[in-house]
Amino acid sequence: MRDVSRSLLALCAALVACGSDEKLTGDGDLGQSEEHSTASKDGGAKSDAGKKDGGASTGTGTGTGTGTGTGSGTGTGTGTGTDTSNCGKSGFSTGSVIPNMLIALDRSGSMKPPGNTITLRCDGTPDLGTAIACGIAGIDCTSPQYANTTNCGGTQTAGPVNRWDPSVNAIESLTASFDTTVSFGLMTFPPKSDECGPGDLQVPIGLNNAAKIKSILAKTQPGGGTPTGQTLQAALTLLEMNQAGADTVAPTQYVLLVTDGQPTCPNASGGGRGGKQALQQDLKLTLDALDALLDAGIKTFVVGYDAALDPTFSDGLNQMAQHGGTDNYFPVQDENSLTDAFKTISQKVVTCAFDFKTQVDDPTLVHVTLDGQTLRPNDPDGWVIDGKTVTVQGASCDKLQSGDGHRVEIVMECTPVLYQ
């Protein structure tokens, strides 16, 4: 079926304008003929004469269409008319109500370090936990004078914060709250088989994925480096598969990046080896991947754990957010702040503005419902239309963005919508 929605819109508009379903008829000496009509210059119609036993057929009509007529003779005619046989059988939905969000979750070793012991030393460029501990001691491990030294000295229980479990809990809460209004997918990085390889897709994007995501996360534990750039490259490949078909509108797509460390792959080999230059190369790879996503119309929200304690890392995360088209990253320190960040992000993702594929010429045919209840046009808590964009507003928009499983549907009807 080609461009069904556009055809229905044109046919329904013509039906309202003309007020009837007119057909061309031709009267001959021996009977009548029916013919579908095509547009003529002057709006009238006349068939080529076809004679049989002295008879001829003629046709008149209004509208648009093409056709042939038969009667006591044969002939073709031109005129105007509309085929409304499909009108009312199905409405036209925008198809853009449900956004896609691919969660890219960092499962590097520093996400859950408690119970492990690390040596606090400036060895090349240290991991985030060491950098924070040394920074508190007044030592900048990125400075050449401290490179490959043990100025921090001693050992400590690695990482003051368990970042993995709060991240898992917050993601489970987010996906459960928006299970029917956002299509979620899940990538974790790095994969178990390669500490510096690109993340792999754990749950394909789709509605009602909260239970699947929860099940996967329950079986996942942290380990490895931080291949952020390669993972975002893989994310672009996956999201580009969700392109619009001939009769659909492409969904709005996003990446939600949750991480606690600076990118350390592939140049820094996952652990800061190669020094500051290698880390800068890994950051550039990440920024380039974010640029490619944005060029494809995919924005990336960046959530950074404990980054506020490290100005260098914080600056890097802000660069990621800017290249991802979301301006600033979301700094979080615990599960509560992470949950708040997810709520803010979800309200940006669940839009209240929806586009038809073409401009709507007759707004009286637009029917908007929220949870099955009809919303009124030009109402403070209803909807308004501008060109091809329908915007749900007021309390109805707030309800849609609340994350309680609400659903909006926008349909182009074949007859004007009546309001009581």
Verify that 164 and 285 share a domain, yes or no: yes
Q: Report the candidate in 197, 215, 178, 191 with the shortest Cα–Cα distance to residue 349.
A: 178
pLDDT (0 to 100) of residue 216: 95
The 3-state DSSP class for residue 32 equals strand
Token pair in block for residue 320 = 């990621």
State what percent of residues in the chain have pLDDT above 70.
60
**Weakest-pLDDT range from 141-145, 187-191, 278-282:** 141-145
DSSP 220: -
Report CA-CA distances (Å) from 185 to 10, 74, 253, 313, 321. Answer: 37, 61, 11, 27, 20
**Pair of tokens at residue 367:** 């029917």
Q: What percent of the chain has pLDDT over 90?
A: 33
Verify that 106 and 200 share a domain, yes or no. Answer: yes
276 and 407: one domain?
A: no
Averaged confidence pLDDT in the chain: 72
Q: Residue 13 — pLDDT band, cuts 50, 70, 90?
A: very low
336-365 pLDDT, tens digit per residue, is 888 889 888 987 888 788 877 778 889 999
Last residue of a domain, one of 296, 320, 349: 349
Tell whether 33 is covered by a domain. Answer: yes
User: Quick one: 339 and 363 in the same domain?
Assistant: no
d(CA 221, CA 256): 19
Evaluate if residue 319 carries a pLDDT over 90: yes
Q: Closest Cα partner for 3 from 241, 248, 365, 244?
A: 248
Q: Which amino acid is at 394?
A: G
Residue 102's pLDDT band (cuts 50, 70, 90): very high
CATH (domain of 259): 3.40.50.410
**Amino acid present at 316:** G
Between residues 4 and 377, the one the model is more confident about: 377
418 versus 27: the higher-pLDDT residue is 418
Q: Are 264 and 272 in contact (CB under 8 A)?
A: yes
Distance of alpha carbon 180 from alpha carbon 235, whole angstroms: 22
- Distance, in Å, from the CA atom of 2 to the CA atom of 8, rounded to the nearest integer, reads 11
pLDDT, tens digit, 9 for 90 and up, residues 19-63 = 333 332 233 332 333 333 333 333 333 333 333 343 333 444 444
| Domain shared by 323 and 403, yes or no | no
* 180 plus 303 within the same structural domain: yes
Residue range of the domain that includes 375 = 353-412
Same domain, 256 and 373: no
In a shared domain, residues 223 and 283: yes
Q: Tell me what the mean pLDDT of segment 255-276 comes to.
A: 82
Q: Are 234 and 308 part of one and the same domain?
A: yes
Of the two residues 199 and 315, the one the predictor is more confident about is 199
Statement to judge: residues 298 and 367 lie in one domain: no
Do 170 and 234 have their domain in common?
A: yes
**Residue 66 pLDDT > 70, yes or no?**
no
Question: 108-166 pLDDT, tens per residue?
Answer: 988 876 554 444 555 544 555 555 555 555 566 666 666 555 555 444 444 456 789 88
Secondary structure (H, E, C), 130-184: HHHHHHHCCCCCCCHHHCCECCCCCEEECCCCCCHHHHHHHHHHHHHHCCCCCEE
Token duo for residue 185: 């997918």
Those residues whose C-beta lies under 8 Å from the C-beta of residue 249, and which sit 6 or more positions away, are 94, 95, 96, 355, 357
**pTM higher than 0.75, yes or no?**
no
Residue 259 pLDDT greater than 90, yes or no? yes
Q: What is the pLDDT of residue 325?
A: 96
Beta bridge partners of 158: none
For the chain, how far is it from start to end, CA to CA, in angstroms? 35
Q: Are residues 55 and 111 in the same domain?
A: no
